[in-house]
Chain A
Amino acid sequence: MSNYILKFSRDERVKYISHLDFVRLFHRTVRRTDLQFMFSQGFNPHPIMTVAQPLSVGVTADGEYMKVGFDGDYSEEKIKDTLNKNLPLGYEIKAVKQVFAKEIDLTKIDRAIYTVEVETKDDFDINSFMENKELIVPKKTKSGIKDSDIRPHIFELEKVDKTDNSIILKMTVSAGSQYNLKPETVIEAIKKYEGADMGFIKIHRNALLQGNKDFLL
């Protein structure tokens, strides 16, 4: 068995595919190729594959990660080419790296960069927003919706562009198993603290990082 870390993107065409549907789609994609999955043991053997930080429905992304076990020692190039020939249009494998131990540990992901477009006619001052010592907003947790201070989890927030109807923000926020901050929650805080009227939100995830470091380029 060989383990590989795969970095992939998804665009507008496939952004509505849910995480579970993506897993099934990936299984089917591999079945169409000559690559052999490694199967789990047990009553219902299933291919060994883990997606690092499942994307929400409607979100596009440049650099997502998954770890896949293949029953064969394939070259990184071969995996990348084979999968790209067989994935539905809209998905692309950007990089493949064979791993032998925990040299790449996807559970260590702790940050994400997002580009977020929000419908709004209001303007607001990012600096004054970021000067808040705390930003308390309701946040979904495993035990229900609770108030949470998200300020420590926003590392960077900048205004990239502004039109008559929308603004485009770029943000670096906490992600991963420790604390996962969704861009929608940041927008909620802006609404609450800056009194801005915000409408439809469109999200793109630029990167998943450990600290400031990307795993694969």
Chain B
Amino acid sequence: MITQRDKILAAVEKPTRYTGGELNAVLKDPNSVDVRFGFCFPDTYEIAMSHLGLKILYHVLNKREDTFCERVFAPWVDMQEQLKKHDMKLFALETGDEITHFDMLGFTLQYELSYSNIVRMLMDAGIPVRAKDRDETYPIICGGGPCAYNAEPIAEIFDFFQLGEGEDMMNEVVSEYVKWKKSGKKNKKDYLEAIARYDGIYVPSFYDVTYNSDGTVEKIVPNNENAKPKIRKRIMADFDTAYTPNSIVVPFGDVVHDRVMLEIMRGCMRGCRFCQAGYIYRPLRERKSETLLNLAEDLLSCSGYDEISLSSLSSSDYSGLRDLTDGLLDMTEKKKIGLSLPSLRIDNFSIDLMNRVQAVRKSGITFAPEAGTQRLRDVINKNVTEENVLKSTSILFKGGWTNVKLYFMIGLPTETMDDVKGIAELAEKVLGEYFKIPKEERAKNINITVSTSSFVPKPFTAFQWARQDNRDMIIEKQDYLKSEIKSRRIKYNWHNNRTSYLEGVFARGDRRLCEVIIKAVEKGCQFDSWADHFKFDTWMEAFSECGIDPDFYNMREREYSEVFPWDHIDIGVTKEFLMRENEKAKAAKTTPHCREKCSGCGVASFKAGVCCE
């Protein structure tokens, strides 16, 4: 029998994006549960299935007998056409059922440029976009992930946000949902009041925002007695024993990260001043290597993967790295499994390790000095010296590597043209290290790639007060850098200034932007992080039709006295500490990392991880 499903799936590229049924995917009888939960990732299957948070929370939810969590991803444009043609709504992967009347939907907010896809997914699902327009027959919609820390631009869309790590929080909000559902689901507000009492839960409709005449925020005050004046993020304080699934869904098709990801730690102790992840995930917490080795064994044997990768913000800071890698190599060498070691500092130990890991293939190595001069690296507190970089690359070249990527940002606070020139000079010096090695000892065909992204100031960083470089300035700096790179062995890649601009607007945006986002989607914007689909001019039209000047959000230096749209969120790191860091940045003074000396960022109040070592 020819079915509608046959016709739809024959008309789209990569049909396995939509079929579900992968190994270790969870199937339950929807009638046997209280809660049908849709875990939504607002991008394609390949991106979504590479995300560790989804893999964890999918199993956290499905471990509950009363809950069936399915995955819901953004359908690609060809599938959107099919849905429209066949008058169908957005569906979940496991059952293929429409999500329009699921109990809960949880969106992961990984990057600002996915906001348009959230709106589009709700529209495709036939769900009213704004929370106030959804009655109790529609799903409760929540969000979490890094962008939830300032989700004000999409606050009107969501019923609530989860701030911080979701392993426990997810269970709390689902349990409260079950109670509410069993009491007859009378009033959505009752449910939201019940969860607002938990740490980490932010119900935007329970807060009123008022503005000053200059457009800045005057104050954010709770309008409901259950809402806390400050919402504190949640962490898994004992990360070693925190729940982590010992099973993993294995996609049929190619996805971006198609391997076992072993989360060795959370948080980072380095304190790079531009890095939001470095602040919001504090404090640094590790899993014991023994725990990790058992987990690795389980994940490899249940998935059949032939590659495993360490996952953390800075693997070299893991205190038991030698034990862990020895143990992993014992396991992987026997089974012919590849081990990848991202975010490693290059030294003799890691080179030795890499030689053991990839006996033959010498794939590319990426360094992130982030800035071209020592002065600017001190400003951003990136504790890498030129000597480090040159020494490491020299070791690499001697070891036979010839593909080196150097990653920088342009547009950092206090940056001058000399700093931009410094990028080219550093790349030339790296090339110089290659030529210092006698011809017979080095591999042929040296390849150096310099990549620059444009700095976007983010909330909860030392640079949250900074002005973002305007697009003309970014282009000028990119052009200057192009002209300064003389060797044809050095390739230069740069980021689109337009996406960085829009990212900057939303990163520090407020609630007034919601209207713009919905309007832009109505005008056809979606998949903004996909170059082929990004419609900058349409976005600008949407801003002007809403009477909002986007420059207000990223083209001005903010005062210390300004109230930020995210000031009611408490990540543990204090605003005072971030101010101190900003001042030290201006003076190009560095701050030691957490194990060297505690700098009193405030996160010690969580009494966990590196703060208690």
> B-contacting residues of A (Cβ < 8 Å)?
13-14, 16-18, 21, 25, 27-32, 39, 43-45, 57-58, 88-90, 117, 119, 166, 200, 202
Contact code string B1-17 (vs A, CB < 8 Å = 1, else 0): 11000110110000110
- Candidates B6, B9, B252, B303; contact of A21 at CB < 8 Å: B252
Which residues of B (237-255) have their CB < 8 Å from a CB of A?
250, 252-254
Can you list 18 A-B pairs, Cβ within 8 angstroms, ordered by A? A16-B9, A17-B16, A17-B252, A17-B253, A27-B306, A28-B250, A31-B300, A31-B305, A31-B306, A32-B301, A43-B360, A44-B360, A88-B23, A90-B21, A117-B2, A119-B2, A166-B2, A202-B2
Residues of chain A contacted by B329 (CB below 8 angstroms): none
Residues of chain A contacted by B361 (CB below 8 angstroms): 44
**Given the known A-B contacts A117-B1, A166-B2, are A16 and B15 also in contact in the complex, defined by CB atoms under 8 Å?**
yes
**Is B304 interfacial (CB 8 A cutoff)?**
yes
In the bound complex, do residue B336 and residue A45 qualify as a contact, i.e. CB atoms below 8 Å apart? yes
Number of residue pairs spanning A and B whose beta carbons lie under 8 angstroms apart: 65
Interface size on B, residues (CB 8 A): 27
**Is B335 interfacial (CB 8 A cutoff)?**
yes
**Interchain nearest-CB distance for A115 vs B (Å):** 12
**Is B22 interfacial (CB 8 A cutoff)?**
yes
In the bound complex, do residue B306 and residue A25 qualify as a contact, i.e. CB atoms below 8 Å apart? no
With A27-B306, A119-B2, A166-B2 given, name 18 new contacts (CB 8 A): A13-B19, A16-B15, A16-B16, A16-B19, A16-B252, A18-B253, A21-B254, A28-B303, A29-B304, A30-B304, A31-B301, A31-B335, A32-B301, A39-B336, A44-B361, A117-B1, A117-B2, A202-B2
| Chain B: CB-nearest residue to A14 | B21
**Given the known A-B contacts A39-B336, A89-B21, are A202 and B6 also in contact in the complex, defined by CB atoms under 8 Å?**
yes
Residues of chain B contacted by A28 (CB below 8 angstroms): 23, 250, 303-306
In the bound complex, do residue A88 and residue B360 qualify as a contact, i.e. CB atoms below 8 Å apart? no
| Chain A: CB-nearest residue to B258 | A24
**Interchain nearest-CB distance for A9 vs B (Å):** 16
In the bound complex, do residue B304 and residue A88 qualify as a contact, i.e. CB atoms below 8 Å apart? no
> A-contacting residues of B (Cβ < 8 Å)?
1-2, 6-7, 9-10, 15-16, 19, 21-23, 250, 252-254, 300-306, 335-336, 360-361
**Interchain nearest-CB distance for B339 vs A (Å):** 15
**Interchain nearest-CB distance for A197 vs B (Å):** 15
In the bound complex, do residue B252 and residue A200 qualify as a contact, i.e. CB atoms below 8 Å apart? no
**Interchain nearest-CB distance for A38 vs B (Å):** 12
**Interchain nearest-CB distance for B362 vs A (Å):** 12
Distance in angstroms between the alpha carbons of A28 and B303 in the assembled complex: 7
| Chain B: CB-nearest residue to A17 | B252
Residues of chain A contacted by B301 (CB below 8 angstroms): 31-32
Residues of chain A contacted by B336 (CB below 8 angstroms): 39, 45
Residues of chain A contacted by B7 (CB below 8 angstroms): 200
Distance in angstroms between the alpha carbons of A32 and B303 in the assembled complex: 7
In the bound complex, do residue B9 and residue A13 qualify as a contact, i.e. CB atoms below 8 Å apart? no
**Interchain nearest-CB distance for B237 vs A (Å):** 34
In the bound complex, do residue B10 and residue A13 qualify as a contact, i.e. CB atoms below 8 Å apart? no
Counting chain B CB atoms within 10 Å of each CB, the highest count among A90, A119, A200 belongs to: A200
In the bound complex, do residue B302 and residue A21 qualify as a contact, i.e. CB atoms below 8 Å apart? no
Residues of chain B contacted by A30 (CB below 8 angstroms): 304
Distance in angstroms between the alpha carbons of A31 and B336 in the assembled complex: 10
**Interchain nearest-CB distance for B53 vs A (Å):** 23
Distance in angstroms between the alpha carbons of A58 and B3 in the assembled complex: 12
Residues of chain A contacted by B10 (CB below 8 angstroms): 58, 200
**Interchain nearest-CB distance for B120 vs A (Å):** 24
Residues of chain B contacted by A32 (CB below 8 angstroms): 301-304
Distance in angstroms between the alpha carbons of A210 and B16 in the assembled complex: 32
| Chain B: CB-nearest residue to A119 | B2
Distance in angstroms between the alpha carbons of A89 and B22 in the assembled complex: 8
**Interchain nearest-CB distance for B252 vs A (Å):** 5
**Interchain nearest-CB distance for A160 vs B (Å):** 13
Residues of chain B contacted by A202 (CB below 8 angstroms): 2, 6
- Candidates B1, B6, B22, B335; contact of A88 at CB < 8 Å: B22
